[in-house]
């Protein structure tokens, strides 16, 4: 359907370099284009479709909720929102949740929460937010400021002030930067930055440094959260409970949602009228997210870890692979000589969807992918890498 593609190019703002693929339907880890060609999905809509395409239980919960109660505004109570918050807190150890619609919005909420906490306790002069070089925190003006990549700091001046970026692993720079700061924000695995995991020792030291100075430790788990790394939250790999964790991508299983999880210290920092979001906590979206949280039990999480290891075992020693990075089912592959973008194009032609991040091929398969589809996808990918 060249028609749809050209209509899209004419009428949708050209902010995306789309692949030459029109997706018409999907089930599990397989989707189809308009001609009926099938593709194995190693992208999950960039870490969103954690239960794959159109999971039955998820789709039933979403459609039943759409028939029962679609939207109320946040002036009223609804069951799916309250249940989701309760479940998230019970599963993670957090005290309270704020719901928005996206990762960037969740991070904006975390920044506001951190600044308010610090202002209440210490007054002016402690508003700085420290983030890491090579991070990615979103596309709003403030989350672009938070993002530690110069490539994003163009055109849209003036950016929001009060952000400083330090190199991951540099404790001396971090210590200096934390002067006058209210928060440190980190991704445990920098996703858009090339699937780069933080060093465990750096995380432990940074966490302690923040604690000692009452600077809030904020985890941006928009990509790493919701089982992606083999644990519900990636922070669990590091044995810490950050003061604030943000979630989005995988949380809704394919519908827009973002969440700010707040620990005891900051759970009551924001009061009525201080923050909000029209669509936040929408019952239909929360009905889907409730299914996602329920399905991410210990059994599925163990399976994510197992499948992550399988992917690594297939790449280990594979010709054409220079390095493999990431955690669980969040995988970065640095090719020997080929360009990541060319590999993604070749994969598409052979019936496999993969992502790129910087100079790496990035894999974010649905957490529920079955072994047959996973093996088929890895066969295609390794044949291209070797070639």
Residues that bind ligand PLP (CB under 6 A): 102-104, 107, 136-138, 187, 191-192, 220, 222-223, 248-249
249 flagged as catalytic: yes
Nearest approach in angstroms of CB 48 to ligand PLP is 9
Nearest approach in angstroms of CB 223 to ligand PLP is 3
* Cβ contacts of 244 within 8 Å, gap of 6 or more: 110, 113, 114, 183, 216, 217, 218, 219, 260, 261, 262, 263, 266
* Collapsed DSSP state (helix, strand, coil) of residue 380: helix
* Collapsed DSSP state (helix, strand, coil) of residue 290: helix
Residue 196 or 373 having the CB closest to ligand PLP = 196
Comparing every residue's Cβ against ligand PLP, the nearest one is 103
Residue 65 or 134 having the CB closest to ligand PLP = 134
Catalytic residue among 41, 98, 217, 249: 249
Nearest approach in angstroms of CB 140 to ligand PLP is 8
220 flagged as catalytic: yes
Nearest approach in angstroms of CB 199 to ligand PLP is 18
In this structure, the number of other CB atoms found within 10 A of the CB of residue 70 comes to 10
> For 152-186, b where at least 16 C-beta lie within 10 A, e where not — what string?
beeeeeebeebbbbbebbeeebbeebbeebbbbbb
* Cβ contacts of 155 within 8 Å, gap of 6 or more: none
99 flagged as catalytic: no
Residue 141 or 318 having the CB closest to ligand PLP = 141
* Alpha carbon distance 255, 27 (integer Å): 16
Scanning the structure block, which residue is given the tokens 């918050």? 85
* Alpha carbon distance 278, 222 (integer Å): 20
Catalytic residue among 136, 163, 188, 238: 136
Q: Residue 325: which H helix or E strand, with range? A: strand 321-327
Residue 10, both tokens: 């004419």
Q: Is the dihedral of CA 177, 181, 186, 190 positive or negative?
A: negative
Residue 249 or 314 having the CB closest to ligand PLP = 249
Residue 220 or 303 having the CB closest to ligand PLP = 220
Active site amino acids: 136, 220, 249
């Amino acid at each position: 359907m060249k028609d749809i593609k050209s209509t899209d190019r004419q009428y949708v703002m050209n902010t995306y370099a789309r692949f030459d693929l029109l997706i018409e339907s999907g089930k599990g880890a397989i989707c189809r284009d308009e001609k009926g060609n099938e593709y194995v999905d190693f992208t999950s809509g960039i870490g969103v479709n954690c239960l794959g395409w159109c999971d039955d239980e998820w789709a039933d919960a979403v459609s039943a909720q759409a028939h029962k109660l679609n939207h109320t505004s946040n002036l009223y109570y609804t069951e799916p929102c309250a249940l989701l918050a309760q479940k998230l807190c019970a599963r993670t150890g957090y005290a309270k949740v704020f719901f928005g619609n996206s990762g960037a919005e969740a991070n904006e909420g975390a920044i506001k929460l951190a600044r308010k906490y610090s202002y209440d306790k210490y007054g002016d002069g402690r508003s700085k937010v420290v983030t890491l070089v090579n991070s990615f925190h979103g596309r709003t003006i403030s989350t672009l400021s938070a993002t530690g990549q110069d490539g994003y700091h163009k055109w849209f001046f003036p950016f929001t002030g009060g952000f400083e970026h330090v190199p991951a692993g540099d404790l001396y720079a971090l210590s200096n930067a934390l002067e006058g700061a209210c928060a440190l924000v980190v991704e445990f695995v920098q996703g858009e930055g090339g699937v780069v995991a933080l060093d465990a020792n750096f995380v432990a030291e940074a966490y302690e440094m923040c604690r000692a100075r009452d600077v809030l430790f904020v985890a941006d788990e928009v990509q790493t959260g919701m089982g992606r790394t083999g644990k519900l939250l990636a922070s669990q790999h590091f044995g810490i409970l950050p003061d604030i964790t943000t979630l989005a991508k995988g949380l809704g299983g394919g519908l827009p949602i973002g969440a700010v999880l707040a620990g005891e210290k900051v759970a009551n920092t924001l009061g009525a009228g201080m923050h909000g979001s029209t669509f936040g906590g929408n019952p239909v979206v929360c009905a889907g997210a409730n299914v996602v949280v329920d399905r991410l039990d210990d059994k599925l999480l163990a399976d994510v870890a197992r499948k992550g290891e399988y992917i690594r075992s297939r790449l280990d020693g594979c010709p054409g692979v220079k390095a493999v990075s990431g955690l669980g089912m969040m995988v970065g592959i640095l090719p020997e000589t080929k360009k990541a973008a060319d590999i993604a194009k070749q994969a598409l032609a052979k019936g496999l969807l993969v992502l790129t991040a910087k100079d790496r091929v990035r894999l974010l398969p649905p957490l529920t992918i079955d072994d047959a589809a996973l093996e088929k996808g890895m066969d295609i990918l390794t044949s291209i890498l070797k070639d």
